[in-house]
Amino acid sequence: MVFAQGGQQRRLVMEKRTEQDKKTKSTNEDDIRLRRWLVSFASGPRWYSVGEFVALDGQAAIDRAIEIFGSASNYRAEEIPWDAAPLVRPRPGEKKT
């Protein structure tokens, strides 16, 4: 997949976490590696997960979450492996049993 930014084209690479840990193959420095991030906001002493974001790094994921939800007292982003199941989201109108 090719990613174009500012008139430049770069190859977009998505990889599984197990492949990220291996150092058997060097990559082109122009490659862009997107990762999944679980972003949490702090409110007082508690942390609340606000969503799952795909971004280049944790700070980019946090910045996107701030754009959507506004600011909080503190932020954190934890990397989620690509092969992990998506977060559970409630469906509107669905009754809990």
The pLDDT tens digits for 14-60 are 555 555 455 445 556 667 788 999 999 998 889 999 999 999 999 99
Which residues touch 75 (CB under 8 Å, ≥6 apart)?
39, 40, 41, 42, 62, 65, 66
Rounded to whole angstroms, the Cα distance separating 74 from 57 reads: 17
Would the pTM count as exceeding 0.85?
Answer: no
The pLDDT tens digits for 53-91 are 999 999 999 999 999 999 999 999 999 988 777 666 666
Rounded to whole angstroms, the Cα distance separating 7 from 17 reads: 30
